[in-house]
Chains A and B, each alone.
Chain A
Amino acid sequence: MPSNTIDRTAKDIVFTVQEYSLFAWRALVNLFTPPRYWPDFLVQADIVGVGSAAIVLLSGFFTGGVLALQSSATLAQFGATAVTGRFVSITMIRELGPVLTGIMVAGRNASSMASELGSMVVTEQIDAMRALGVDPMRKLVTPRIASTIIMLMFLTIVADACGIFGGAAVTVFMNGQDATQYFSEAYEFLHYPDIIQGMVKPLFSGYIIASIGWTIQAVVTASVLIIFVDFLLTQILLTLFPPL
């Protein structure tokens, strides 16, 4: 019966949302209550943070370069190529740095988290952990969430810096403009609200990656959610900190 199928599908969806909500809530609460597994946190910080540094560095650099290439062509029509630095730094720090870093880290880590957990469930390692008196939520999930959030903030800073340098490389070596002017523009017009906006987003992206990372289709779901939450956050933060 089609109605039975619809009924079952609806129940499955509601059940999945309920399970994820409970899971995400427990993972969040565990961040603030003992016991905490610091060695596991450091191991995960190394895997997620140091392991993703190279791809974030490269993607940040080339994104900044592309931004400079595309913007300078348009800005030249208005005789405003001098503001390329401002354009690149603000775009990287407020938007592209956090979002691209989130997506890159999700691509590299979310699927591995899902496969690792799946393997542990199938081989009864999760049950063994529970049988040994250890909470898998605290031992496996919380360190990954905490390390992903914290390392994503640092990786975003790396991506922002590399993006600005990538823009500088294009502006100076390809467009033949002055480096001092580029960096002066990039720095002068950057304000604290821009930094805050760029640093708030990785908090949410990191949480999304590490909590969605336990599901199937983790990378796709995490990437879409990162962009969706980025849209919501941008709207909220632009209301809180209107452009100067």
Chain B
Amino acid sequence: MSDASFLSPARCPEPSDGTPPVVCFSNVYISFLGPAVLADLSFTVAPQETRILLGPAGVGKSVLLKLAMGLLRPSHGSIRLLGNEVTAMTEEELFPLRARTGMVFQESALFDSLSVRDNVAYQLIQARVPDEEIDQRVREALRFVELERTFDMFPGDLSGGMKRRVAIARALIRQPELILYDSPTGGLDPVTSTTIIELVMKQRDVYRTPSIMVTHRVQDAFMLCTHRFDTGVGHMVPLPKGETDPNTTFLMLDQGRMIFDGSLHELLHTEDPFVREFLE
């Protein structure tokens, strides 16, 4: 499974159980007036699946997420998002499709001039939802990330970790059909990183929303795979020894190409020298 030559179907494969993938990349290629940033990229995200995208900095992980949302256009190839061919849609057609998904940006990308309430409620305000309902739903979303007290604060008043958590609340408020996390723990201290990973896990295990999480921190990826969120005790607990979350799988990029697509077990036993070096 770890050889890229096995990962290049001409178009999105037909699912064996009849359930279409949430995201499907097929032979995607993109360059910015130079060498390819991503080349011959093919993979899928199944319903309820969490895909962890590993790779060193500058390898095109964020570009891949932006391609999935239609924020960037591939030079060629096919990208299907929630059953829609993103590459064939206009910017105007993409807005309602993007509204069905959530994205957590690398630096949170909160709107500086808006309060936390207005940031989290951004989509609801645009949809002209009544204020009372907005307040209630924002408090619910902030409670999910344990930041209800920041309701009236501004992004400038928050720490880096708090901004990420608010960004997660903003991405979750409309219960999206897919969530994309762009290095949600990047630049954070280990304790705050664990808090963020626990939130990603909570979202995965409570709402079962499919997601792609970009990271270059192997420890975060392994924690997500070897733990589950226990709603009874309200925090994450380790899975029994030897067990991993079956719906959490790995992708790995190197020099713009997919060099690995498989489970944690396959990742740990791959012979690919780059993957082994990265993991070590």
A and B bind = yes
**What's the Cα separation between A134 and B103 when bound, in Å?**
13
B21 to chain A, nearest CB (A): 20
B99/A127 in contact, CB under 8 A? no
B:70-114 near A, CB below 8 Å: 71, 91-92, 95-96, 98-99, 101, 103, 105-107, 109-112
CA of A52 to CA of B71, assembled, Å: 36
| Segment 127-175 of A: residues with Cβ below 8 Å from B | 127-135
When C-beta atoms are compared, the residue in chain B nearest to A131 turns out to be B103
Task: Give B167's nearest chain A residue, CB to CB.
Answer: A128
Q: Is A19 an interface residue (CB 8 A)?
A: no
Interface string of A100-132 (1 = CB under 8 A from B): 000000000000000000010001110111111
B105 touches A135 (CB 8 A): no
- Residue contact B109 to A128, C-beta cutoff 8 Å: yes
Distance (whole angstroms) from the CB of A133 to the closest CB of chain B: 3
Write out the residue numbers on chain A whose beta carbons fall within 8 Å of the beta carbon of B66: 127
How many chain B residues touch the partner (CB < 8 A)?
Answer: 22
Q: Are B92 and A135 in contact (CB under 8 A)?
A: yes
Q: Are B105 and A133 in contact (CB under 8 A)?
A: no
**Max count, chain B CB within 10 A of own CB: residue among A119, A127, A130, A131:** A131
Closest B residue to A128 by beta carbon equals: B109
Query: Is residue B126 contacting chain A, with contact meaning CB distance below 8 A?
Result: yes
Q: How far is the CB of A119 from chain B (nearest CB, A)?
A: 8
What is the CA–CA distance of A60 and B95 in the complex, to the nearest angstrom? Answer: 45
Measured between beta carbons, the chain A residues less than 8 angstroms from B122 are 132, 134
Contact with A133, one of B110, B111, B123, B170 (Cβ below 8 angstroms): B123
Segment 98-142 of B: residues with Cβ below 8 Å from A: 98-99, 101, 103, 105-107, 109-112, 122-123, 126
- Least Cβ distance of A143 to chain B in Å? 14
- The answer to whether A135 touches B109 (Cβ under 8 A) is no
B224 contacts the other chain (CB 8 A): no
Residues in B neighbouring A125, C-beta threshold 8 A:
109-112
Chain A: interface size category: 10 to 19
A81 and B69 alpha carbons, distance in the complex (Å): 70
Determine whether the beta carbon of B98 is less than 8 Å from that of A130: yes
Looking across the interface, which residue of chain A has its beta carbon closest to that of B97?
Answer: A133
- Among residues of A, the one whose C-beta sits closest to the C-beta of B101 is A131
Q: Which residues of A contact B92 (CB under 8 A)?
A: 135
Residue of B nearest to A137 (CB): B91
B residues less than 8 Å from A134 (CB atoms)? 95, 122-123, 126
Q: Which of A119, A128, A135 contacts B103 (CB under 8 A)?
A: A128
Q: Which residues on B sit within 8 Å (CB–CB) of A135?
A: 91-92, 95
Contact between B71 and A127 (Cβ–Cβ < 8 Å)?
Answer: yes
Q: How far is B78's CA from A122's CA once the two chains are assembled, in angstroms?
A: 28
Quick one: given A133-B126, A134-B122, A134-B126, are A124 and B99 in contact (CB under 8 Å)? no
A residues 173-198 in Cβ contact with B at 8 Å = none
Chain A positions within 8 Å of B170 at CB level:
132
A133 to B126, CA, bound (A): 9
- Chain B positions within 8 Å of A130 at CB level: 69, 71, 95, 98
Q: Which of A127, A129, A135 has the most CB of B within 10 A?
A: A127
Instruction: Collect the chain A residues with CB atoms within 8 Å of residue B123's CB.
Output: 132-134
Residues 211-242 of A at the B interface (beta carbon under 8 Å): none
> B145 → chain A, closest Cβ, in Å?
17
The 9 closest A-B pairs by CB, nearest first: A133-B99, A128-B109, A124-B109, A131-B103, A133-B95, A124-B105, A133-B98, A125-B109, A132-B123
Footprint of A on B, CB under 8 Å? 66, 69, 71, 91-92, 95-96, 98-99, 101, 103, 105-107, 109-112, 122-123, 126, 170
* A residues apposed to B, CB below 8 Å: 119, 123-125, 127-135
A-B contact pairs, 8 of them (CB 8 A): A124-B105, A127-B71, A128-B103, A128-B111, A130-B95, A132-B99, A132-B123, A135-B91
Given A119-B112, A135-B95: 6 more A-B contacts, CB < 8 Å? A123-B107, A127-B66, A128-B111, A129-B111, A131-B71, A134-B123
